[in-house]
Amino acid sequence: MQLFARISAVAALVLGTVIVSLAPANAAGVTATFTKQSWDTGYTATVTIKNETSAAISSWKVEFDYPASTAVGAYWDSLLTRSGNHHTFVNREYNGSVAPGASVTFGYNASGTADPSNCTINGAACTGGTPPTTTTTTTTTTTTAGPPPTGSLPRKVLVGYLHASFANGSGYLRMADVPDEWDVIDLAFAEPTSATSGELRFAQCPVAECPNVESEADFIAGIRAQQAKGKKVLISIGGQNGQVRLETTAARDAFVRSVGAIIDKYGLNGLDVDFEGHSLSLNAGDVDFKNPTTPVIVNLISALKSLKSRYGAGFMLTMAPETFFVQVGYQFYGGAGGGDARTGAYVPVIEAMRNDLTLLHVQDYNSGPVMGLDNQYHNMGGADFHVAMTDMVLAGFPVRGDTSKVFAPLRQDQVAIGLPAAQYAGNGFTSVADVHTALDCLTKGTNCGSYKPKGVYPNLRGLMTWSINWDKYNNYEFSKQHRAYLPR
């Protein structure tokens, strides 16, 4: 049976890792290399196409066969057509050109354990024309791999963003080295190919920026190890620089497809929506948050519902809006009255997804003064700000002050408070002591300052921070001090 030029099958089993390598003695031409990360009933495959000629190629087509016992599911960075058991992958518009000596990759998930056979690339053998020689090496490890485990979150959680695609001055931290204090690890970030494409892509931090970045196989193994300890690992989309506007149904569908491919490739537990900037806004006349009409809002809601339906009850959905998009909706909603069309624009999304929402952790930082339910303005950086902002989503509020349009309270277990991990991580850093003062007021009704919340919320879920990396940079003050205050 003719296989790919080089097969490195990383079959991560409970008792060992088996590596099988088939490499041609002197590969030439354009070659395709197949690697896989296995679990009990399937695997994630990565195919690397390398141009070992002296001239650039402008496109590629990889073809191979599978027996009926193995099927291809989600795929990424390629387009797939099938004819019976024959599979044909062709390049996307952004990765068809391959310079001499360069390489590109695509990937897919397979259910079943068979390897592909009869591989060709651009009509020639994937080996580049040289018969392979075979060697087999077996090593034993204690790594456990498999589909992501299910299970609920602890009673109190710490949520942290991990700089997985960049370093941002705080240094790179490998997935396997994320401390045990964290319960939810958000991978920052998947970003769009353009603001309106809906197509999301995620790539690990480049070596030039993160010299200690791990291999993709080790990254995935690190995810599995964290999940085996009960941690949830999510992909976060957007961030400060990732504008995502789903203006069309085509963009919506691309969003669902590409986000699903990332979740499947890395075996993740769900999705965090961190839309900032101009990703969400409301069109003129869109004034009812329970019945939105603006395409970027309607299409995002539809996309999130599709992903939830695809992955089922165990799928985690979290959101990290800024105060401008949520609490400012108490005063202003969209562009009504000549205001900014983005004010309150997250409110209809939260409302539509409230029954499927795992956690809302509004960013109580990088914020201007915000009016609370006491009709007084509150400034970030102190306990009162966190009490006032959190009270708004736990007590509910009339949108734009209209008592006929009330955003109802979220469940206490759906809400966490978003904070910077250190002074350099964001404006509005709050000391450990002031955070604990805010938590005392919200969860116990004690230690309250000038703002008195509408209720006491003992089941408030916990804290979120930007970021795990900045916490490490700050000697883990955030995770250690707040974990001690919020035992699981």
Residues catalogued as catalytic: 276
Residue partners of 448: CB distance under 8 A and separation at least 6: 387, 440, 441
- DSSP secondary structure letter of residue 283: -
Give the number of other CB atoms < 10 A from CB of residue 45: 22
Contacts 24+ apart (CB under 8 A), 433-439: 434/382, 434/383, 434/386, 435/383, 435/386, 435/463, 435/482, 436/485, 437/383, 438/383, 438/384, 438/386, 438/387, 438/390, 439/485, 439/486
Q: Positive or negative, the Cα torsion across 262, 266, 267, 271?
A: negative
Q: How many residues does the chain have?
A: 488
CB 30 within 8 A of CB 52: yes
CB 344 within 8 A of CB 329: yes
- DSSP secondary structure letters along 187-227: EEEEEESSTTT--EE--PPPTTT-TTPPPHHHHHHHHHHHH
The Cα 236–Cα 82 span in angstroms is: 32
Helix crossing, 216-228 with 249-266: angle to 10°?
80
Residue partners of 309: CB distance under 8 A and separation at least 6: none
